Amino acid sequence: MTTNTRVIEFNYILHDTLGEMIDQSEAGAPLAFLEGSGQIIPGLESVLLTMAKGDKREVHVKAEDAYGDRDETLVANVPLAELPTDQVKVGDMFRGGPEEEDPVMVVTAVQGDHVTLDANHPLAGKDLVFKVEITEIRTATKDELAHGHAHGAGGHHH
């Protein structure tokens, strides 16, 4: 069986719509993703798939095509006593359960003996602006297809 599924490597700088930088790939260390695997947000992937090696572009992604809208049901006001520590400040993060997949909750307020925890993705509800440059496009390996993610530099390490 042959496949045309590709692995795409790219550099990025991520800003919010006010121009404040949120994140960027490290110099000389582009991110790699397997086409169609859901490794990166859909609004960015759909544009990257149309680009060629060496192309540079600014990509505007609406929240709904990025990390989704905020869900206010994921915000909870809990007694401080339920947290693993009583030394809690705004910005602290707790995992919602013992599993790796359990959502990370951020402390957004501390009032008396209660704290507000927000399990939304930090970028939920935000429109995003990516400056991207495609550094490499290659055919995915059998292992990458079997695993559903890119390997090697910028990809998944086992």
Q: How far, in Å, CA of 97 to CA of 91, rounded?
A: 18
Instruction: Specify whether the CB–CB gap between 84 and 92 falls below 8 A.
Output: no
Q: Does 114 bind Zn ion (CB under 5 A)?
A: no
- How far apart are CB 87 and Zn ion at their closest, in Å? 38
Nearer to Zn ion, 106 or 140 (CB): 140
Residue nearest to Zn ion (CB): 147
- How far apart are CB 155 and Zn ion at their closest, in Å? 8
- Restricted to residues 117-156, the positions that interact with Zn ion (CB under 5 A) are 147, 156
Q: Does 95 bind Zn ion (CB under 5 A)?
A: no
Q: How far, in Å, CA of 124 to CA of 61, rounded?
A: 12
- How far apart are CB 1 and Zn ion at their closest, in Å? 19
Nearer to Zn ion, 114 or 147 (CB): 147
Which residues, 6+ apart, have CB-to-CB distance to 29 below 8 Å? Answer: 153, 154
Which residues would be at the binding site for Zn ion (CB under 5 A)? 147, 156
